[in-house]
Amino acid sequence: MGRLVPAVTRALDVLELFLEGDGTLSAPEITRKLQLPRTTVHELVSTLTARTYLVPVPQQPGRYRLGVRTYQLGSRYAEQLDLAAEGQRVARSVAETCDETVHVALLEGADVIYIAKVDSTHAVRMVSAAGRRLPAHCTSVGKMLLASLPEDELTARIPDGAELTAMTENSITDPATLRRHLAAVRERGIAVEQRESNADVSCVAAPVRDSAGRVVAALSISVPMVRWSEERRTELEELTVKGAGELSEALGHRGRR
């Protein structure tokens, strides 16, 4: 990660304060909450107001609320939430076919975040939740997403000398070993994780592409080891590719699955 810019960090701190309470604040309140100099807060508020990230509250002199620019950014973000909605729909369809737990995940930094999940109906099943974050190198979805990155971006996220977290004794902890593993994932177009994030679970994952062909997510099927076999793995790999292809089509991708 590059060096953080203090002025930008402070401006974002100011904006995030408006997520609390009734959504309005005065400059003295911001000064007190952030423990910043009054002149700094005045400059930040003036700049954010000039750019319409903040606007004065009518009939309440000296108070501010979030402005139209934050709404525009939020609207653009909301447009991207179709991936979560479509991911949930496709995950449900895949789960109904195999009766195993299905996830859709995004890459953020060196982690994955699950944005959709449908549970198996079996008593023995993987326990997880949408919104959960895990180290990418320990998961099939994470390996699939890491394998899709250009080499320079992969190195930026996982430097050669990085100390990789071990979630189980089977987790890959050496960046060089991980890179060799990702090369195989890239070649096959399928990622497999065997008891690397959970000692009792194995997973398979396939890439989800957008209209431009970019890998934007991954879809996985997770199976407790009591139901895992090489035959079952082959079946689930085929189903995972099919599900990821369906989700890709929903996002506008028209390439081969």
**Which amino acid would we find at residue 251?**
L
- CA nearest 218: which of 165, 109, 159, 143? 143
- E strand map for 170-242: 191-194, 201-209, 215-224
Half-sphere exposure of 95 (CA within 13 A, CB side): 22
51 class by beta-carbon count within 10 Å (0-12 exposed, 13-18 middle, 19+ buried):
exposed
Q: Extract the tokens encoding 161.
A: 């000398």
- CA nearest 87: which of 176, 207, 235, 175? 207
pLDDT at residue 17 is higher than 60: yes
Q: State the CB neighbour count (10 A cutoff) for residue 101.
A: 24
Full-model pTM: 0.67
The pLDDT value given to residue 82: 76
Residue 124 pLDDT grade (very low, low, confident, very high; cuts 50, 70, 90): very low
- What pLDDT digit, counting tens, does each position of 132-172 carry? 789 999 999 999 999 999 999 999 999 988 889 999 999 99
The span from the CA of 136 to the CA of 5, in Å, is 27
The span from the CA of 204 to the CA of 222, in Å, is 7
Cα–Cα distances in Å, from 150 out to 64, 139, 154, 156? 43, 19, 6, 10
- What pLDDT digit, counting tens, does each position of 79-92 carry? 665 788 899 999 99
- CA nearest 141: which of 125, 152, 130, 150? 130
Q: Extract the tokens encoding 140.
A: 């099939």
DSSP annotation string for 128-173: --TT-EEEGGGSHHHHHHHHTS-HHHHHHHS-TT--PPPSSTTS--
pLDDT at residue 190 is higher than 90: yes
The pLDDT value given to residue 79: 65
Angle, helix 175-188 to helix 140-147, in steps of 10 degrees: 80
Residue 122 pLDDT grade (very low, low, confident, very high; cuts 50, 70, 90): low
Q: Which residues pair with 215 in a beta bridge?
A: 209
The pLDDT value given to residue 129: 55
Q: Which residue in this structure is represented by tokens 């939740």?
A: 129
